Every structure is written in structure tokens, then in C-alpha cells.
Structure 1
Amino acid sequence: MAFTRTVRVLSATALTGSLILTATPGAFADQTRDAQWHLETLQAESVWEISKGKGVTVAVIDTGVNTQHVDLRDNLLKGYDFEDNDEDPSPEEGDLLSPTHGTGMASLIAGHGHGSGAADGVMGLAPEAKILPIRSGGEMGFAEEIRYAVDHGASVINISQGESQGLDADREAVAYALQHDALIVTASGNAGSEVDDYPALYPGVLTVGGVNKNGTIWEGSNYGPEVLLSAPAARLVSASWPGNKLRIADGTSGAAALTSAAAALIKSKYPDLTPGQIVNRLVKTAVLPDSIKDLSLPDEKYGYGAIRPLAALTGDIPAGGEYGPLKVPESLGSSDSGVSGKDYAAENAKADQKQMVFLAVLGLVSLAVIGLFVFLIVKLTRRNRNKNSDLGVSAGYPHHYGQQPVPQQQNPYQQQSTPPHGQWPPQQ
């Protein structure tokens, strides 16, 4: 039976819809890097001391990637064009799905800048990850593209596109990706309404909403129970096409790309983690703005909150189950085998309670040990003093009763003040 499928890239062009810089990026070096506000918000400089995404391949299934862009070309692998069935995944003039879009997503993930010390141009959040560019309009779904990405070594697959109807082949491809340790990240959409696109609606996919600079939800971000995380989505500067042009745009496409980059950073540092366990780290360290109160997580707009790559890389977080907070595709288990949002939140709360009990017990044991230690010191001190007193009298030495001041012992287990939770942007 024939049917009509609507395909659209998931970035808004209402802001400008065009390139902000038409000269080479070098002429705008300072303003380009300064304009990438999300790097500072996501603590990129500190993140890069731990991980830059080295050794991880991120597939970008989109409208093609500018293979010659000065800020991106060194991190591009040989890809494929499923529109023209050839090995040139470059954008094409007249593409109705915005030929600049895929290049922008790739650069947000793994742009490497240029110039001395790579100080100029667009820098991605995972600047040492490799991009596998895959050009696809999505008219026939994304199954072939997903399987190609998996079979060519992608650990993370970014799909900042959406189509209006789901396909069994795509569902099976999502399960195939999970079985082969590849995480699919997609955008929630930009209509400011309920999530209604695929692959965002498929079980097993990480769906991401968008936030503004202050951490509050971006007004165009679609919402629903599928949203697990959020990330910067407003006025994102990225590479473009043709030539070395740059673009600026709003949209959850960019939020998905930055989340894909964060996943690549984690995969690089913790290569044995499954896709669900990578998401688990992102979820456990996500943050909500201070202005948001009394939300039941996951929230339909924020999910569990905005990503914090540095905390996700450095936090002491148990790996957890294979699928983490991802809903499990039916082909990988029973229809109810996935952990629902509420169940996962309950598991988190239970784990937090266990940790609090453990810390409380540890504190009591520590205090008991310290108390015993102090008791022994006092007892030994008194014994030595009595012994010295006896010696002093028998030898005729003057005996001093004045007690010398003893330096106060600091309790090494005393709780130190910690930074307040819920800050956005996160504090260095």
C-alpha cells in the first residue's frame, strides 16, 4: 500500500536560515570560538584533559558532510551516499533538506579547528573522534544507513533527522545497533509539541531535547516520555557548506549532536561500556536549572536534565544494567523488558538510599575507630606521665604538673562543604 512519508531535518532556521560568515573562518577566529558558548557551558577545556573522543567513530546520518571544510576534514572517514549510491557523501546543491545541515552536526561533534594550536575556527566537543559521513534523505527510512554505520565501526550514530512514519526495518536496525554496542542518538524535534517523528519514537534510541544558555528549555523543543536528556540548542555556531563557511542555527539537532559527542567522550574513556551504560552515566550526572522546582523525573521536556560531560566522565558511577534507562526493543526481549522512566527513577532513588546508608555506616565506623584511637592515645599518655612522675620524684628532679597544650586533631572524615547541585552552567 502506498503512503506518503514526510522527512525533515531537525534544526530550526527561524533565527537566520543562512550562513553568518561567508569568508574563511580564519578571518573570524576569535568571534567564532567565542560564539561557541556551549563549549564553555559544557566545560570543554576540563573535559579535554580527560577525553577527546580518540578511538571512537561517530556516524552522522544526515544530508551529507562537507569533506573539504578546514575545521573538519582531518577527522572524516570514507563514507557513503545512500541517495546517489556512491562513495561521495558530500551535500548537493538544491537538496530540500538543507545541504548545510549534516556538516554542521559533524562539526559540533568532531570539529578540530585550525591554525596554531587549533585556536581558530569551529571546535567540536569530541575533537579527536572520527566522523563516518552518511548522506541520506530518509525517504525509505534509516535501516540501511544504520546497519552500514554499525558494520563500519560506529560506536555512536547521530540522526538529527525525522520521518513521520515508523518502519519495521528501522526498528530491527535499532536493535541491531544495540546488539553491536552502537548507541543511536536523535533529536526530539522543533515544533514545540509532542514528539511525533521517527527514530525518536523507537525503543532503544536516545532522544534529546534542547535548552537555552540559561539551562531552561528551548521553546521549540518537542516533548514527551521519549525524551531522556537535554543539551544546548540555541544559537549554535558550526561548520557549513560549500567551502569554509560557517552557520548559526537553533534546534534540537544540535542538542543531539552535542550529546553524541558526549557519548563519544565516555566511550573513549570507558570502552567496555554498553550503549545503555553510557546513557546511564549521562543520566546520573544530568542537571536541571535552579529555577525548575519539583519535577518528577524523567520530565517530558528536560528528561533527566541537561548533559554534563565532565561529571559523566569523572563521577563514581556503577555501570548498571546493559540497557540502562533505554527502553529495550521488543526483538531483544519481551515488550515490558525495558526499564520505564518511573522504574528507572525509582531504581536511582533506591540506589541513592543505599549509598546514603553505606556512607552513614561508614561514618559511624570511622568515628568509632577514631574514638578508639584517641582513647588509646590518652591512656598511653597518662601511663607515660605517671611513669615519668615516679622517675622525677625518686631522682630528685622537679616535677611539672602544668599540662602542655596538645594540637587539636582534625577529623579527616568531617564532611566538607560541596558545591550546590543544579547549577547551570556547571561550575568549573
Structure 2
Amino acid sequence: MSFTRTLRAVGGVAAAGALLFTAAPTASADYIRDGQWALDAFNPQKVWKESTGKNVTVAVIDSGVNGDHVDLKGNVLPGKSFAGDGGTADHETGDDHGTAMAALIAGHGHGPNRADGIMGLAPDAKILPIKTREIGGDNGIDGPIRYAVDHGAKVINMSFAGSSLNDLEKSAVSYALKKDVLLVAGSGNNGTNKPLYPAAAPGVLAVGAVAKDGKVLGLSNYGPHIRLIAPGEKIYSAGTSLKYRQASGTSDATAYVSAAAALVRSKFPDLTAGQVANRLTKTAITPDGKTGIKSPDPKYGYGVIRPYRALSENIPAGSKNGPLTMPKDSEPSAGAGADAPGNEAQGSASEEKSGLSPIMVIGIGVGVIVVLGIVIGVIVANKKRRNGPPPGGTGFGGPGGGAGVPPQQQFGAYPQSGGPGAYPQSGGPGAYPPAPPTQPPGH
């Protein structure tokens, strides 16, 4: 079933008006723009009336970006290369992966009315390109993440995967979280539940891919850490040696989620990174037409992003970290609140310093009072034995009764939800049928 068709709820009951995406096609003479089925499905004209990503910088940690591409020129900052060649990362001419991710996020098209080429979901966002050779080891992502944070990025797109994170990389992730930067990473392209990183790392918004038919892409990795899915099948984007490319995988889905996050951060600059993620998850829709689910599914998380609803619906800000599960060494107050989907309440900074929650403190106080009450009762009883009536009289609780003891307080830490999951890079090019054209915003 297509994204643009009405979905049916579980049990065969029609979910009236429940759409994964809506579309409002307009005329275009460019086959590349016409081929952007995913962008068209987001109904971008409505989205761009709410936000275009202005004043938000999205870091793209990847293979570097061709900032001279006609659809990106002016939207790409110099950035930095950590790949051993030194210099900036905005003149990539080889690997086109980073350029493709940047274009899906902040491409602005070209030609009359910018109706040709690749249009990103957040066309007024700025791209901070950061080139890295590999995840892990001496050329890992710790330096790139810290550079992104220190140079103003509010969203970091990571469309790559590795088997683990070293200690420096884990520390960099925590650094970004403490600085209120939203980390977005793909779940991977192995079609398994093997956890890959950084997507499976605590605090990272993990993304899976969905196909044009509305089903989760078969190659999309899955697991309990998945929070969102986005289009990842036969996605056109910008290239380097070739002007345009087409690919499938969670990399492209990740770029769309990063773009959606940039839109939300632009319109709601006072929201924390977790609250931005909360808007995206609360308005996402599952392939079977459900929205606002309480806990993420291993395959599709909370569902497919719906940027317009994330921008336009009245959604309470919620807890600081929303649906994100924080690492242990993040800020003391970084645990997701009780209202965050899929997470339990955690203690505040003062509680963590003392090691005692308010419930524990109250419980200890009650216990002290109870003990004092028992001691006083014993003293009074002894006194009555000496000065009062003989044994066998009517005491508290009747003959033979004794002082009641309140039920014992139960104490324990609230467990964090979430856990490791999986993920790798986007797939290669392939053919795909043309989709209805999309008109760019009035730039």
C-alpha cells in the first residue's frame, strides 16, 4: 500500500483520514525533482509554511560535502576534515555519500523558481560538513562530534555504522548531549538486530528506513533502540563525480529525520534536543495507521516522521530528554521523564548527588517516626505496668491487641528503557518509477 493511500487499522477497521504521508504535487519539468517521491510525500509546501530550517546548523559527519554543487551552493559551511588530508570538508570530489546526505537535508534546487534538482526537507538550514575516514580507532567520531558541537551544530547527522564505540567516542556523545545537541544516526542495512553504533548508543536518535509501499525496508536493521523510520528506498540526491545519484538505505532515512529535527529546532528554538525528538515521535505514524503509541516497536520505533504535524500540532514540551535513553555519564538531570514514551522517570541532580530519591528520603523519615513511636509505646507500656491497671485490661486494639505497624515501604530505582539495537550505510543506486513533481519554496 502506498504512502499516499489511506491505511487500515488492525482488525480491518478503517482508520479514517490516517495517512502515513499526504501529497500535494505541482508541476515541474525536471525528472530529478519529479523523482523525489519521499519529499513530495511529506507535502513540503505545507511544511515550509511552518518552517524551512532557518538559523539551524546541521553537522554532517560523513565523507565530506561538495559545497559547490548547484543545489547546495551557499548552504554549506567550510567545516573540517579529520581524514588526514587537513583543511575544510566542503570541496569533496570523490565519495558522494556526504553530499547526498547534505542535499536531502538542505538542498535548495536550482533554475527558475528553484524548480529543478534536489530540494532538501529543510532548505534554509546550514550544513556543517565534517569529513572522517572511519568510525572507531584513531580516525573515529570523537573529534568530529566535539567539533560539530563547538561550532554551533544543533543537529548532528551520522549516516554510518560500526561495531562499537571506543571510550573517546562515548565521551564525545555524552559531551554533545550535555550541550543539548540532537544526535541522529541510522539503524543500518544488514536487515538484522545486531547492534551497530552510534545508532545503538544511549542518547542517540536511531532511525530505520521505510519503503515506498509503506513497509519497513527489508535491509533496515532493527532493535529496541529504534525510535523513528523515514523514507529510504530509491532516493534521489546530489552527487560529486556524477551530478545526481539514487540509493536505498537507512542513510537517506537518517538525513530526512535530521532535516525534520532542523525544522522543529528552527520553529521552536527553546525546546531541548529531547523535546524536539518528542515532537517527532509523538506525531509519527506506524505502517498500520497508529500514532502516539506508548513504546517503540523494534522494527519501526514510534513510526514514520510527519514533519508538518510535528510543526503544527499542539504538543506539550514534555520531559527534557523525551524518548531518548541517556547514558550513565550524561548530565544528572538527563533521564527521560515519566511522560516520555518508552522511558521511566529518573532522579534529579540533587537526588543523584545524594544517592537518595525523594521517595527514599520520605521513607526513611517515616521509618524513623515509626521507630520513635514504638520506643515511646514501649516506655508508656512499661510505665502503665508500673502505675496503671493490672494486665488483661482493654488496650489499643482490644484485649490482647498491640500497636499496629504500618506496611513496610518499598524502595527501588526506576529502570531505564531502551537498549542496544543495530545499523549500517545506505545502499547503492537503482531504478525507480517517477513520482508526482514537487514545487520548491519561494526562496
- Asked if 1:127 is matched to 2:123, the reply is yes
2:256 is matched with: 258
1:116 is matched with: 112
Q: Do 1:189 and 1:195's aligned partners in 2 also have CA atoms closer than 8 Å? A: no
In 2, the alpha carbon distance for the partners of 1:120 and 1:333 equals: 45
CA displacement at 1:86 relative to structure 2: 2.0
Q: Do 2:337 and 2:343's aligned partners in 1 also have CA atoms closer than 8 Å? A: no
CA displacement at 1:42 relative to structure 2: 1.2
Provide, for residues 80-120 of structure 1, a one-character-per-residue CA deviation record: whole Å limited to 9, x for no partner.
Answer: 11012522313354xxxxx1111100000000000111111
- Asked if 1:66 is matched to 2:63, the reply is no
SS of the counterpart of 1:210?
A: strand
1:56 is matched with: 56
Q: Do 2:321 and 2:334's aligned partners in 1 also have CA atoms closer than 8 Å? A: no
Identity of matched residues, %: 51
1:191 is matched with: 190
CA displacement at 1:167 relative to structure 2: 1.1
1:344 counterpart letter in structure 2: P
Q: Do 1:215 and 1:306's aligned partners in 2 also have CA atoms closer than 8 Å? A: no
Q: Do 2:53 and 2:266's aligned partners in 1 also have CA atoms closer than 8 Å? A: yes
CA gap 1:323/1:112 in 2 versus in 1, 3 angstroms: same
1:53 counterpart letter in structure 2: G
2:60 counterpart letter in structure 1: V
1:276 counterpart letter in structure 2: G
In 1, the alpha carbon distance for the partners of 2:134 and 2:178 equals: 23
Q: Which runs of 5 or more residues in structure 2 are unaligned?
A: 1-27, 346-443
1:174 is matched with: 173
In 1, the alpha carbon distance for the partners of 2:55 and 2:331 equals: 31
1:190-339 to 2 correspondences below 5 Å: 190-242=189-241, 245-290=243-288, 297-332=295-330, 337-338=335-336
SS of the counterpart of 1:74?
A: coil
Provide, for residues 347-387 of structure 1, a one-character-per-residue CA deviation record: whole Å limited to 9, x for no partner.
Answer: 89xxxxxxxxxxxxxxxxxxxxxxxxxxxxxxxxxxxxxxx
Q: Do 2:280 and 2:307's aligned partners in 1 also have CA atoms closer than 8 Å? A: yes
1:249 counterpart letter in structure 2: A
SS of the counterpart of 1:134?
A: strand
1:41 is matched with: 41
In 1, the alpha carbon distance for the partners of 2:250 and 2:185 equals: 9
Provide, for residues 5-26 of structure 1, a one-character-per-residue CA deviation record: whole Å limited to 9, x for no partner.
Answer: xxxxxxxxxxxxxxxxxxxxxx
SS of the counterpart of 1:344?
A: coil
Provide, for residues 142-178 of structure 1, a one-character-per-residue CA deviation record: whole Å limited to 9, x for no partner.
Answer: 1100000010000000000111122111111111111
2:103 is matched with: 107
1:114 counterpart letter in structure 2: H
CA displacement at 1:344 relative to structure 2: 2.4
2:429 is matched with: none
Provide, for residues 306-345 of structure 1, a one-character-per-residue CA deviation record: whole Å limited to 9, x for no partner.
Answer: 00000000010010111111001111257994569x9724
CA gap 1:343/1:324 in 2 versus in 1, 3 angstroms: closer
- Asked if 1:87 is matched to 2:90, the reply is no
Alpha carbon RMSD of aligned pairs, Å? 2.4
* TM-score, normalised via structure 1 length: 0.69
2:143 counterpart letter in structure 1: E
Q: Do 2:156 and 2:181's aligned partners in 1 also have CA atoms closer than 8 Å? A: yes
In 2, the alpha carbon distance for the partners of 1:220 and 1:337 equals: 32
Q: Do 1:329 and 1:338's aligned partners in 2 also have CA atoms closer than 8 Å? A: no
1:173 counterpart letter in structure 2: A
In 2, the alpha carbon distance for the partners of 1:338 and 1:171 equals: 19
Provide, for residues 24-73 of structure 1, a one-character-per-residue CA deviation record: whole Å limited to 9, x for no partner.
Answer: xxxx9521111000112112111001100000000000011112110012
In 1, the alpha carbon distance for the partners of 2:35 and 2:70 equals: 18
CA gap 1:347/1:338 in 2 versus in 1, 3 angstroms: closer
Q: Do 2:80 and 2:86's aligned partners in 1 also have CA atoms closer than 8 Å? A: yes
Please state which structure has a larger fraction of its residues in helix: 1
In 1, the alpha carbon distance for the partners of 2:256 and 2:228 equals: 11
Provide, for residues 218-241 of structure 1, a one-character-per-residue CA deviation record: whole Å limited to 9, x for no partner.
Answer: 111000011000000001000001
Give the number of equivalent residue pairs. 313
Runs of 4+ aligned residues of structure 1 deviating over 3 Å after TM superposition are 90-93, 290-293, 333-340, 345-348
* TM-score, normalised via structure 2 length: 0.67
SS of the counterpart of 1:203?
A: coil
SS of the counterpart of 1:76?
A: coil
In 1, the alpha carbon distance for the partners of 2:237 and 2:343 equals: 38
CA gap 1:54/1:292 in 2 versus in 1, 3 angstroms: closer
